Amino acid sequence: MNLGKVAVLMGGSSAERDISIMSGTGVLKALQSRGVDAHAFDPAQRDLGELKREGFARCFIALHGRFGEDGTVQGALELLGIPYTGSGVMASAIAIDKVMTKRIWLAEGLPTPQWRKVASAAATRAAFAELGAPMIVKPAREGSSIGLSKVMSLEECDAAYARAAKEDAQVLCEQFVSGEEVTVPVLGSGAQARALPVIRIVAPGGNYDYQNKYFTDDTQYLVPCGLPAGEEEKIQALVLQAFQVLGCRGWARADVMIDARTRQPYLLEINTAPGMTGHSLVPMSARAAGISYEDLCVLLLQNAALDHGGKPT
């Protein structure tokens, strides 16, 4: 396959390093199985300048969280002139910041749960008084449910804030939406972008945390999702719009809660470098659409691009 020498960026220095290594290892094996000249590259252990010096033509970004999903590595690759998978600098920087993402979605009239940005335990207690129980407290710029708490009482606010603030100085308090949790991947860019099948997530006790995401087989992932007629298409259209207004490209995955009483879907967040592990949801949804894991990896790599300079020849 004439895609040149490819670096699979994995590992990195974020709190999601371990998950990134799992994702990157899967992608590396998939690309190599299709004849791609792919190599592992850990930016936490090697200088990014080596990518240029060693003749890498493209990068598959399997980094998660800060320094990999937030526009920083994308900016470095722009300067090096090496096309990469996923969204560009600005969309990546916005999407990892849940506060900025919500501001843009609300400005575009897209539904997202009520929220407050807080910078202290006292402000967290004040947010709880306004938003009510349950309330989600989480770092504004982390993923994989790291640092997240579900607060049921005023007394729990201080510990929840401390847990989130340990991961990020910017903390988000969000009104909890009681209902079904779904996730929707998007592939492509611009007018060619399309939403893949919706996956409905049924976690033990409704607790879709770090452990249940990656290290147990107790969480159920339903695809076909089994939602009432018309709901899947409505949610796919909403997620596609959420993807496009942020300027995302290549691929992403958005998480959505459906209010059990009103059936209104609410956008929670969007991941521009989603997981590609054995438990990950983009490969699962792609499989339901007839796209194998290996074909998905190659497709994403073929669409590697730069914000300035287009795709490689």
Supply the pLDDT for residue 114: 96
- Given a contact cutoff of 8 angstroms between Cβ atoms, the answer to whether 293 and 26 are in contact is yes
- Given a contact cutoff of 8 angstroms between Cβ atoms, the answer to whether 160 and 149 are in contact is yes
Each residue's pLDDT tens digit, 224-272: 999 988 999 999 999 999 999 999 999 999 999 999 999 999 999 999 9
d(CA 121, CA 273): 31
Amino acid at 92: S
Residue-range domain boundaries for the chain: 5-85, 94-111+177-298, 115-175
Amino acid at 280: S
Residue 279 pLDDT level (bands cut at 50, 70, 90): confident
Question: What is the chain's mean pLDDT, rounded?
Answer: 92
Q: What percentage of the chain has pLDDT greater than the value 70? A: 94
pLDDT at 309 over 80: no
Cα dihedral across residues 102, 108, 113, 116: positive or negative: positive
- The architecture that CATH gives domain 115-175 is 2-Layer Sandwich (3.30)
- Residue written as token pair 């849940």: 98
pLDDT at 209 over 60: no
Supply the pLDDT for residue 308: 84
Supply the pLDDT for residue 283: 96
pLDDT at 107 over 70: yes
pLDDT at 169 over 80: yes
Domain spanning 5-85 has what CATH number? 3.40.50.20
CA angle 235, 213, 42 (to 5 degrees): 105
Amino acid at 73: V
Half-sphere exposure of 173 (CA within 13 A, CB side): 29
Supply the pLDDT for residue 14: 87
Q: Whats the size of the chain, residue-wise?
A: 313
Supply the pLDDT for residue 1: 66
Residue 215 pLDDT level (bands cut at 50, 70, 90): low
Residue 122 pLDDT level (bands cut at 50, 70, 90): very high
Fill in the DSSP letter of residue 174.
E
Supply the pLDDT for residue 313: 39
Two tokens at 118?
Answer: 């807080």
pLDDT at 214 over 80: no
Supply the pLDDT for residue 144: 58
Residue 278 pLDDT level (bands cut at 50, 70, 90): confident
Supply the pLDDT for residue 311: 53
pLDDT at 213 over 70: no
d(CA 215, CA 14): 19
Report, as residue numbers or ranges, the catalytic residues.
16, 144, 214, 253, 255, 269, 271, 275
Nearest in space to 84 (alpha carbons), one of 305, 243, 254, 308:
305
Two tokens at 54?
Answer: 């060693």
| Domain at 94-111+177-298, CATH from 3.30.470.20, 3.40.605.10, 3.40.50.10490, 2.40.30.170 | 3.30.470.20
For residues 87, 88, 90, 92, the Cα torsion angle rounded to the nearest 10 degrees is 40
pTM of whole model > 0.85?
A: yes
Supply the pLDDT for residue 218: 78
pLDDT greater at residue 114 or residue 210: 114
